Structure 1
């Protein structure tokens, strides 16, 4: 009976999220409360086991850093300079946004990258009177594909790296970066084909754009230099966190608190907290509680264990099925809690005689990262972009995103299947 209740609540909430009739944060929080009222889990288990407070704290810290930095005019300056470099041409601007986001997501984590780039892109599109949707779309796609390339690029990779000791930063770079680069190129072509005709240079005079003084938008106060310094230190901390044995969340929170203290005289903390995307944070909390309900009653674990039954323990079939199940399922629920549920299941495959699990780990990582592009709630970066866009009154429709994201995911999974098959699975055929 509990399985039916938890599944029903999840499906109902998902339908409301898709139809966008009610605020998405309110929908997921309502679902979490219903799971509590029906006794699916206790409040203690919900708060201590199912809500990923590290992710929530990381998002909050980065929002604080971005909110303070934005007040210095740095993002406006970068937006104007970027637009001037491409002379306001919509397609080069689109491709440039994708390339910068992809590189940033591989070197940082994709959530941090979109928090930095989305405000810039929103300013550029507003300046050039261009539709924001194509640019937000390519930022989401690029963040998830670029994030797949490295250990620190996407939360599922971080979780897998923490669970499997020998899968180091260099391991991810060697095994995941090549396919990420291939898929990134395919994605750029995909987006170019979709928008090459609809994006046209606006009536804004290019001479007027080139004549704009980007320097005028910078507020050269101590806060500007403090913001740049702390933001750079935080990014360096992200890059070195594995060597320093400091968690990403700790790095981000340290940076946020330090910048709040340094800039307190110029901008009150209350003003910064008012700029935080609270709807996005509470949506994440609610989403974790919903998926936690499915975990509590065993739905996710049973789906995962059924993989072995379906494939009769065949190594090649198991790896490919993991890829596709992870890819398709990560589009339905956020890939972070899904990967958290899948990690112990993959570890159990050893009891079925599968000693060498690395190709299956790569299949899980690829499926989770790529599948995040399917829907607006498929990955943390997607939800953050949607929240920032909504705050700028450039809301992204769930259905509209699905129409672009789902086909890309199918293409990506087909290419990833070929990659896994040729690079890892051929020796196990027959």
Structure 2
């Protein structure tokens, strides 16, 4: 490998370390890495721009606008409070209601947005009902990453994989939703069974929530109706975009633009406040760094190494991708890993001599479920920890790691069985 490849690998490694340490904002870290590579012609700017996946960035931008408008109406708080009341005071049902609501919302929206909305609700409920929210917050973070695995838009790794492999929204529903449901049920059930005292809520504490009027959470019914209609149209568009040959980003941006045009709020203010610009900058910088890895031969070298050891073993390649990505993404941000590894899959499939499709599904499961391992694995984990800390309930790295890695091994074991059964012809 030429010196450009080694320099690119060093830049990529230092970028991930900087993000993991949290000393530099992830957007700044990615931008610095990309700027360095372009400035020293390791990857010329005219080539670098080709690697930016504008479909991923456009999809995130459109959904951020729509979710931002929806969040201001109070609909998510309404759903959470209503779900709790429907449990009838049974603490096991309550835990499943909160985690299931989180998982479902993460599949429809995205996991970062979901935990931003649900975490303060859990903490408010803990204040009203006087219980320790930390175990439930960790379960919420885990549920958000599990639920986000089910759909194209639920977790950034899926957006990257879908865009790269040209998978449609319905492809994700067919291939990932069934195993996601199984993983969710097994994971939450085992967490509750192993440590039930962490989740128990006394009956008298639950009765406090019955006094809260969920209808009061709804703040703007006209805007809510418009936003729900637009969200419905976007979901239909996601299901049909493969048939219509329209990118998912176009669907999301068109829906966002239409919504901004029909609501009374200032569109410029929404664009300024509700779009997470640092996240989009992070993606752009990351795509450039990953593009440099591909352009300078790092990706092909890794693929050749894996292909050499897995040649003639398609099932082994599939399971290796699952476990390698799952364990790696427990400690390395799954966005950066996925953006890099999709190119490895392209080359690995050629080396092993199989279709890349099962390898991409293995990568999606590994990257998304593996993100539950620690704070570093997924952005949603960091968000939950930050919100909990601000409310006076800090979550230690050790506490999250203990529960998170347990959930990762459950998920990867179930996924291994799923992949073996589904692709048994590769045996």
Answer whether TM exceeds 0.5 for this pair: yes
Structure 1 residues 251 and 406, CA gap change in structure 2 (3 angstroms): same
Which residue does the alignment assign to 2:248? Answer: 248
What is the deviation of 1:255? 1.4
Task: Determine the structure 1 residue equivalent to 2:45.
Answer: 43
1:347 deviation in Å? 4.3
Gap change, CA 1:149 and 1:256, over 3 Å in 2: closer
Displacement of 1:84: 2.8
Q: Give the equivalent residue in structure 1 for 2:276.
A: 277
* Contact 2:349–2:355 (Cα < 8 Å) also in 1: no
Match of 1:294 in 2: 293
Q: Deviations over 1:187-234 (max 9, x none)?
A: 213433576333454899544421222222323453232222222222
Name the CA distance, whole Å, in 2 between partners of 1:303 and 1:10. 14
If the length of structure 2 is used for normalisation, what is the TM-score? Answer: 0.80
Distance 1:234 1:316, change over 3 A: closer
Q: How far apart are residue 41 of structure 1 and its match? A: 0.9
Question: Please, what TM-score do these two structures have when normalized by structure 1?
Answer: 0.79
Matching of residues 175-194 of structure 1 within 5 Å? 176-192=176-192
Q: Tell me what 1:7 maps to.
A: 9
1:123 aligned partner: 121
Q: Please give the alpha-carbon distance, in whole angstroms, between the structure 1 residues aligned to 2:341 and 2:214.
A: 43
CA offsets, 1:293-341, max 9 Å, x none?
A: 3333322332222122113433333333233333344553525413531
Matched position secondary structure for 2:366 = helix
Return closer, same or farther for 1:318/1:384 CA change in 2, 3 Å cut-off. Answer: closer
SS of residue in 2 equivalent to 1:39: coil
Q: CA deviation at 1:31?
A: 2.2
Contact residue 4 and residue 42 of structure 2 kept, 8 A: yes
Correspondence for 2:96: 95
Task: Give aligned pairs, total.
Answer: 416
User: Which stretch has the larger CA shift, 238-247 or 398-407?
Assistant: 398-407
CA separation of 1:268/1:199 partners in 2, compared to 1, >3 Å: closer, same or farther?
Answer: same
Query: Equivalent residues in 2 for 1:28-177 (5 A)?
Result: 28-49=30-51, 51-86=52-87, 92-104=93-105, 108=108, 111=110, 114-116=112-114, 118-129=116-127, 134-135=135-136, 137-149=138-150, 176-177=176-177
How far is 1:251 from its partner? 1.4
Cα distance in 2 between the residues matched to 1:268 and 1:428: 52
Provide the residue aligned with 1:383 in structure 2.
Answer: 379
1:318 aligns with 2:317: yes
RMSD between aligned alpha carbons? 3.8
Contact 1:386 1:396 in 2 (8 A): no
Q: 1:203 to 1:417 in 2, by over 3 A?
A: closer
**Structure 1: 5+ residue runs without aligned partners?**
none
Structure 1 residues 314 and 231: CA distance shift in structure 2, 3 A: closer
1:227 paired residue number: 227
- How far the C-alpha of 1:7 sits from its partner, in A, is 2.2
Range moving further from structure 2, 97-106 or 254-263:
97-106
* 1:64–1:273 CA contact under 8 A, matched in 2: no
For 1:396 and 1:28, the matched residues in 2 are separated by 27
Partner Cα separation in structure 2 for residue 227 and residue 204 of structure 1: 37
CA distance in 2, matches of 1:57, 1:398: 33
Is the deviation greater in 415-424 or in 64-73?
Answer: 415-424
CA distance in 2, matches of 1:74, 1:170: 26
Residue ranges of structure 2 left out of the alignment (5+ in a row) = none
